[in-house]
């Protein structure tokens, strides 16, 4: 549904189904926290989807498994004979896995850009200060004023600004507020997977050229099974996350979300330049681009506060 402002002086709005809305001047506005999809007294964004929760737990278990095999089967047994190699790769692996885990947590627990539910009221429409002939859209599913480039997610049950897609592996939508964390998650998992694959290959080479009993604290059959499973996991997720990372970078490069590409939507927004599009997601270029501890820029909140959940 869309609303068209018919007059600047009469505080009158007309909907596309000929339903008139009259707004009285001098209205006050209060802001209360919407606890929908929130937990821990509203501090974190939480989606209660059983499929997403299973995928999240599986993701954590796979990361923990890769750490177990890399440390206890490959790196720690080699510390006496290849100290520098073992220490360097242990530190690198721990850093990559920690950054991947933190990026995953931040993607999952960050509000992706949910539009407040039920804000398509006369008061809010009046507050927007529409120009004559300006059209706004209303989501029929969550009764929200639908900002430009927002889409409704059936899992989150909310409209999400610049929604790219809903990812069960992070149990959340990827949108305006958490796209940076999702990009970092795919990047660090891809690098971690390649690193694990290299360690597995080197370990196999080392064991072939020496006694299998000496290259691991576990029995040869157990060592082979653990390495094979880690190699398969690393190869699979290296391919998967590299593709996901590439599609995200392409979406940012073209200033077009995945759902906009899928629906082949005509661009009604003014496309940013490629560099400004990256700035909108990561901020000005610095080492903080690679940090999951820093938040993405959210300048739009100052301009359109009524479209942002508290």
What pTM does this model have? 0.84
Tokens of 42: 């509203």
Q: Which residue has the tokens 């290959």?
A: 201
Report the C-alpha gap between 95 and 139 in whole angstroms: 43
| Phi, psi values for residue 59, rounded to 5° | -60, -45
pLDDT class of 81 with cuts at 50, 70, 90: confident
Q: Does the structure show a pLDDT above 90 at 229?
A: yes
List 153, 159, 167, 215, catalytic entry:
167
Report the percentage of the chain scoring pLDDT > 70: 82
Q: Which residues contact 130 (CB under 8 A, 6 or more apart)?
A: 5, 13, 136
Which of the two residues, 301 and 80, has the higher pLDDT score? 80
Most confident of 151-165, 182-196, 254-268: 182-196
pLDDT class of 212 with cuts at 50, 70, 90: confident
| Among the listed residues 295, 292, 182, the one whose alpha carbon sits nearest the alpha carbon of residue 248 | 182
Report the C-alpha gap between 249 and 274 in whole angstroms: 10
pLDDT class of 5 with cuts at 50, 70, 90: very low
Task: Give the lowest-confidence range in 83-97, 135-149, 172-186.
Answer: 135-149
Please give the DSSP secondary-structure letter assigned to residue 261. Answer: H
pLDDT class of 302 with cuts at 50, 70, 90: very low
Average confidence (pLDDT) over 291-305: 70
Report the percentage of the chain scoring pLDDT > 90: 54
Query: So what's the pLDDT on residue 28?
Result: 35
Query: So what's the pLDDT on residue 166?
Result: 96
167 is a catalytic site residue:
yes
Structure confidence by residue, pLDDT tens digits, 124-145 = 777 776 666 667 788 888 888 8
Q: Does the structure show a pLDDT above 90 at 272?
A: no
Structure confidence by residue, pLDDT tens digits, 10-19 = 333 433 333 3
Mean pLDDT, all residues of the chain: 83
């Amino acid at each position: 549904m869309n609303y068209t402002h018919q007059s600047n002086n009469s505080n009158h709005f007309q909907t596309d189904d000929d339903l008139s809305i009259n707004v009285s001047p001098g209205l006050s506005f209060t802001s209360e926290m919407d606890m929908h999809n929130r937990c821990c007294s509203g501090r974190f964004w939480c989606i209660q989807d059983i499929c997403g929760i299973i995928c999240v737990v599986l993701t954590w278990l796979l990361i923990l498994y890769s750490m177990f095999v890399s440390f206890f089967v490959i790196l720690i047994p080699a510390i006496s004979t290849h100290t520098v190699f073992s220490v360097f790769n242990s530190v690198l692996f721990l850093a990559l896995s920690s950054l991947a885990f933190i990026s995953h947590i931040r993607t999952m627990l960050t509000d992706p850009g949910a539009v407040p539910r039920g804000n398509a009221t006369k008061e809010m429409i009046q507050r927007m200060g529409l120009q004559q002939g300006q059209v706004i859209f209303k989501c029929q599913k969550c009764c929200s004023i639908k900002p430009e480039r927002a889409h409704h997610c059936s899992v989150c049950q909310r409209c999400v600004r610049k929604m790219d897609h809903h990812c069960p592996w992070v149990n959340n939508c990827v949108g305006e507020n958490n796209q940076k964390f999702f990009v970092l998650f795919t990047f660090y998992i891809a690098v971690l997977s390649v690193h694990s694959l290299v360690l597995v290959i080197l370990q196999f080479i080392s064991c072939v050229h020496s006694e299998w009993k000496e290259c691991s604290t576990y029995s040869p059959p157990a060592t082979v099974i653990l390495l094979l499973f880690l190699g398969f996991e690393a190869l699979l997720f290296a391919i998967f996350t590299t593709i996901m990372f590439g599609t995200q970078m392409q979406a940012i490069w073209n200033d077009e979300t995945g759902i906009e590409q899928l629906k082949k939507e005509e661009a009604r927004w003014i496309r940013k330049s490629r560099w400004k599009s990256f700035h909108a997601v990561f901020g000005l270029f610095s080492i903080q681009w690679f940090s999951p501890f820093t938040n993405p820029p959210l300048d739009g909140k100052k301009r359109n506060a009524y479209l942002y959940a508290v």
